[in-house]
Structure 1
Amino acid sequence: MTELFDLPVDSAEEAAERRDEVVARVRSHAGKIARELARLQGGDYGKRTFETADGEWTVKYEAGDLQFLLFDDGRNETYVVSTHQPPEPEALAEAMTDYEAFVTAFNRYVRSLDGVLDEVPADFPAVESTDSVVAERERVLGRVREVCDQIARQLARYEGGEYGTYATRVAGNRWELKWENGTTSYLRVGGEGGIYLLSQYEQPSAHDVRSLAEDVPLFVEAFNDYVDDLDASLDGVSL
């Protein structure tokens, strides 16, 4: 048994060093391909596959840097370059016999794009300004917010809290005003999923403002009727 463990073990250092040298050179060279792909595809990350007579090569990149280079010959997949572990020397050697064909396929792809944009027009019509539309929308919504803030202050006085909601139906739609600290948080028409005529986050479309602003007076009248009902509920009470 002692003689068995005295058997010599060959060092894999030379093969590993040679493998690492080849992988480093491929990483550097294929990294150029990754950077060119990133420029062409215009994103921070992506991948593309190139076909050769012996298989497929897939390049994946992120922020312009090569993430992996995969060779698939239809029988085996070899990560020639990877962020995890280096390939087996035999698999690397097999893949490298097709590397030149891969580079040729990439170059062919790039050359196929020559002249693609030559006839694309670069003169475009003038862009209309939205200044007048935005200004008119702000004018209308500013007035809506003024009157809704008045309602919010009255509700805060009556209900005595820091926030709350008031809802009623106007022209067949549910109108809901949410208020906080005496100011309007939002005015929503149509319930959940409805249109926010007033909001802290985004503006309604001009078409929505046009169709709904005409009903704001009815909303105010509904609130006034609500207040009148509150007054009437105390009529006849004496102490």
Structure 2
Amino acid sequence: MTEAIDFDFADTAAVAERRDEVVAAVESHAGRIARELALLQGGDYGQEAFNTPRGTWTVKYEGGALQYLRYEGNGGSETYVVSTKRQPDPTELATAMQDYESFVESYNDYVESRSGVLDDVSTDFPEPHETSGVVAERDRIVDRIREVCDEIAVQLHRYDGTDYGTFATTVSGTRWELKRELDRTSYLRVGGEGGVYLLSQYEPPAAPDVRQLVGGFEGFVESYNDYVAELESDLDGISL
């Protein structure tokens, strides 16, 4: 019969319990620092490193909450004092905690260095100019373009006899395309796929685009007129 082994061994429960108490206290305290950093840096996600004579402390936060507090000693040791992964080794935690007060002082210096940084920033801004005049002129020009294009759509609908159709031409090397639905303009696009919509069902064009392209619209209409003239000439001489 095997004799029972009877050796005493140390109980780690007390050490682990004290370690957990220290970590919980640090997590609560450093969590406040994480929230303050999130407010100061203007975002819910980020990290900041704080140097002390003995090493570097890194605070990382997500959603304004502390994700981890890492201590890197000058000798190269690394301890996650607070982490979502695991609890730190008690001995490493004890070493890091000897420098914790210096970390808090470094954080306070960091905040103090930014205190008053905006004191001399003026909020006496110049008044922004209104765009109403430009918009009104843009709309006047676009409305006139739509009137002309809708008349072209009426004539094309009458001639083609289809519900949908396009008229495309090239003006000074640039493609202009009018698409219609029945006798109304769906869009007038300049420049092919990915080009500028002088007319569309969704939004008006930018004023600079109107300024740049309006000069070519006359050529577009002239090209349409030439197209109609050719249709008429094709029927000349036909007798029944």
TM-score (norm 1): 0.79
Choose 1 or 2 for highest CA Rg.
Answer: 2
**In the aligned structure 1, how far is the partner of 2:11 from the partner of 2:180?**
78
Tell me what 2:225 maps to.
224
Tell me what 1:38 maps to.
38
Tell me what 1:188 maps to.
189
CA offsets 1:2-22 (integer angstroms, 9 cap, x no match): 668765665543333323222
CA offsets 1:145-192 (integer angstroms, 9 cap, x no match): 344445456666738465x65432112322234556765554332345
Alignment of 1:86-97 (within 5 A): 86-97=87-98
Alpha-carbon shift at residue 73 of structure 1 (Å): 2.1
**Greater displacement, 66-75 / 28-37:** 66-75
**Residue identity in the other structure for 1:15:** V
Tell me what 1:15 maps to.
15
CA offsets 1:208-230 (integer angstroms, 9 cap, x no match): 21121122122122233334445
**In the aligned structure 1, how far is the partner of 2:23 from the partner of 2:93?**
8
**Greater displacement, 82-91 / 128-137:** 82-91
**Residue identity in the other structure for 1:123:** D
Distance 1:42 1:180, change over 3 A: farther
**In the aligned structure 2, how far is the partner of 1:58 from the partner of 1:142?**
60
Q: CA RMSD in A?
A: 3.4
Alpha-carbon shift at residue 30 of structure 1 (Å): 1.0
TM-score (norm 2): 0.79
Distance 1:10 1:147, change over 3 A: farther
Distance 1:122 1:234, change over 3 A: same
**Residue identity in the other structure for 2:126:** P
Tell me what 1:63 maps to.
63
Contact 2:52 2:102 in 1 (8 A): yes
Tell me what 1:168 maps to.
169
Query: Is 1:126 the counterpart of 2:127 in the alignment?
Result: yes
Distance 1:107 1:133, change over 3 A: same
**Greater displacement, 151-160 / 85-94:** 151-160
- Identify unmatched segments of 5+ residues in structure 2: none
**Residue identity in the other structure for 2:50:** F
Distance 1:4 1:143, change over 3 A: farther
**Greater displacement, 31-40 / 76-85:** 76-85
Distance 1:232 1:114, change over 3 A: same
CA offsets 1:25-67 (integer angstroms, 9 cap, x no match): 2121111111111111112322211111122212222232222
Distance 1:210 1:2, change over 3 A: farther
**In the aligned structure 2, how far is the partner of 1:165 from the partner of 1:85?**
67
Q: Secondary structure at the match of 2:114?
A: coil
Distance 1:26 1:154, change over 3 A: farther
**Greater displacement, 149-158 / 167-176:** 149-158
**In the aligned structure 2, how far is the partner of 1:36 from the partner of 1:234?**
82
Distance 1:161 1:84, change over 3 A: farther
Contact 2:162 2:182 in 1 (8 A): no
Distance 1:71 1:209, change over 3 A: same
**In the aligned structure 2, how far is the partner of 1:181 from the partner of 1:19?**
79
Distance 1:108 1:161, change over 3 A: same
- Identify unmatched segments of 5+ residues in structure 1: none
